[in-house]
A and B are shown apart, each in its own frame.
Chain A
């Protein structure tokens, strides 16, 4: 089946099998390997991307379900000149990662969280990231990063390119 998907602002049209998962389409067909595959069972959140502005686990969405949608992956967060998105900058500044495997998913989940709730409390951040697992950090610096990003962005949640 032919799908037409706008990813990070660029329109792609491809022929895919019905059973192709969105994460395999992004990584295998489009070559956007920033989105990681972790558990592959919609538990860990490593494969989180934005679909029409909302976080989804791309291992549990078919590419055909994304036909006509706008997808943002971690590659779409920094500016074309390489300057980091405020969420990425906050993770960098606050040491919000160790091995980094969960980070693309954490950043995308954070983008969705801050769009829905631009000024979350610490508890709301912890609840808002319940769908993303990190096996290194114990989450403390991740939560710190999200709170710092919220303060920097101060409600400018449309900063995500699409």
Chain B
């Protein structure tokens, strides 16, 4: 399988990338590691006429401490996250989950910015950034920088708040205080989660769900029940409230709703005790 023809533009800096995106806008897609975009292009499900390759912009590859937050350059690869001493010690859920994405070859190429911008609800990182209450820093040539709360970033299936001329540059996450759990349920090691759960204890407990809707979602009913003193099992029974997850070859909607309650219970028991 070969992608449809496109015009290839390589950006050497953020400014150059923004200027290319201003010029080509709607006709362009941004190429980072390519591990979400290229498979879609090979299947001709995506046929951009211009590819803006940002993969070599060194200034977007960093993981650094900034006050009580960690700032992550959008081009940091999953392997970088997995092995970052800073993340392992301060935001361990992110290092742990990065190590569960795909397989080693995928983690050598895929980037956090690419994963979040692609916005696949079956991906691991969007739900984790959502549970951490992260902020996405995006830039455009026309309007400069704006910051988007993770809760407002994913708008629909593969649809985000990014405008066609905008580039996701940095992800900021507050350093959490408590324990975490990530439950990824799949049939084969390298697959996407059929359902996944990211739970992070902080002042309260944040729970978000993978592959339970068109976007990653917070399990608000579970969080509220916990804050009112419900047991993990009772809170977890509310995991699929108001959700209508997709049916596909890996499981029916009803099966996913069942999995969500089981996996949320396991995650809460892991961080709060049974």
Contacts and interface: CB of A to CB of B under 8 A. Distances in A.
Contacts of A131: 102-106, 190
Contacts of A33: none
Interface string A63-97: 01100000000000000000000000000000000
Range class of the A interface residue count: 20 to 34
10 contacts: A1-B8, A19-B4, A19-B5, A24-B2, A41-B42, A42-B106, A61-B109, A65-B53, A127-B189, A128-B104
B6 interface: yes
B124 to A, nearest CB: 15
Nearest to A65: B55
B67 to A, nearest CB: 32
Contacts of B102: 131
Given A1-B8, A62-B38, 16 more contacts: A18-B7, A18-B8, A18-B51, A19-B5, A19-B41, A48-B105, A54-B79, A57-B105, A62-B8, A64-B53, A65-B34, A65-B53, A109-B104, A109-B105, A113-B104, A131-B103
A17 interface: yes
Contacts of A162: none
B10 interface: yes
A1 to B, nearest CB: 6
A109 B106 CA distance: 12
B250 to A, nearest CB: 15
Nearest to A16: B8
B106 A57 contact: yes
B258 interface: no
Contact of A41 (B39, B51, B104): B39
A109 B108 CA distance: 12
B192 to A, nearest CB: 11
Contact of B6 (A19, A51, A61): A19
Interface in A112-162: 112-113, 116, 127-128, 130-132
Interface string B244-272: 00000000000000000000000000000
A62 B104 contact: no
Given A18-B51, A42-B35, A130 B4 contact: no
